[in-house]
Amino acid sequence: MSPVRKTVIITGASQGIGAGLVQAYRDRNYRVIANSRSIKPSDDPDVLTVAGDIGVPETASRIIREGLARFGRIDSLVNNAGVFVAKPFVEFTQEDYDYNLRVIVAGFFHITQAAAREMLKQGSGHIVSITTSIVDQPMAGVPAALASLTKGGLNAVTKSLAIEFAKSGIRVNAVAPGIIKTPMHPLETHAALSTLHPLGRMGEIGDIVDAVLYLEGAGFVTGEILHVDGGQNAGRW
């Protein structure tokens, strides 16, 4: 009997870390359901793209429905979609607040709930969320209270769900990056951003991909917040 081919959902999959994750999972022979608001169709028959705002419940429903119709199962979910806004707390607007909660919190809740239902049916699964190291190690020069409010919530629910699902065959983890070289950060900012890490450099997309793949294969690890941040979480420097 041939081994079952696994299927992973990746949100925020059109560029940066998300695009790196799509390629890495395909290299491991996973089928991939890739989502972002403007993602284009793929020529790869083992990559299903589903365009839509992950903060909208119907998008999550379509991802699951179309994914099951194409591939028949959901084995892993990587909650990668996110947004980061740094400004003084008193300057955040209602629009900032609504946008952050929709993308990060609602974007986690709807797809994770829908994917977990399928994982519970098959008695196995893995959920991993991309959060941020600044939740645990705030920086005076980077005021980011909304990131702490929203991504900190993902860290907390990671541990909560890890316990809730522990006896159901579902593991739940998170990766907390430092500042990563993605299209979000123009090249001219890299020198200054590098100084915000004890190791003296920004992270690479591959650093985060490697961390997610480690957790994917680490069958005895659940409830873990894995810091991939060049030493930021170790303390002040």
Domain ranges in the chain?
7-234
Q: How many helices (H) and strands (E) does the chain have?
A: 7, 7
Q: How confident is the model at residue 39 (pLDDT cuts 50, 70, 90)?
A: very high
CA 86/CA 102 separation, integer angstroms: 17
pLDDT recorded at residue 183: 80
Q: For tokens 């194409």, what's the residue?
A: 70
Q: How confident is the model at residue 235 (pLDDT cuts 50, 70, 90)?
A: confident
pLDDT, one tens digit per residue, over 178-211 is: 989 988 888 889 998 898 899 999 999 999 999 9
**Higher-confidence residue: 2 or 223?**
223
pLDDT above 70: residue 1: no
pTM: 0.95
Structure tokens at 142: 């980077």
Answer whether 22's CB lies under 8 Å from 47's CB: yes
Q: For tokens 């739940």, what's the residue?
A: 172
Strands (E), the chain: 7-11, 31-36, 47-51, 76-79, 125-130, 170-177, 225-228
Q: With both helix axes pointing from N to C terminus, report the angle between 16-27 and 205-217 in degrees, rounded to the nearest 10.
A: 50
Give the residues across from 7 on adjacent strands: 31
Between vectors from CA 73 to CA 112 and to CA 82, what angle results, nearest 5°? 30
CA 130/CA 172 separation, integer angstroms: 12
Q: For tokens 């955040």, what's the residue?
A: 92
Among 3.30.70.20, 2.60.120.620, 3.40.50.720, 3.30.479.20, name the CATH number for the domain at 7-234: 3.40.50.720
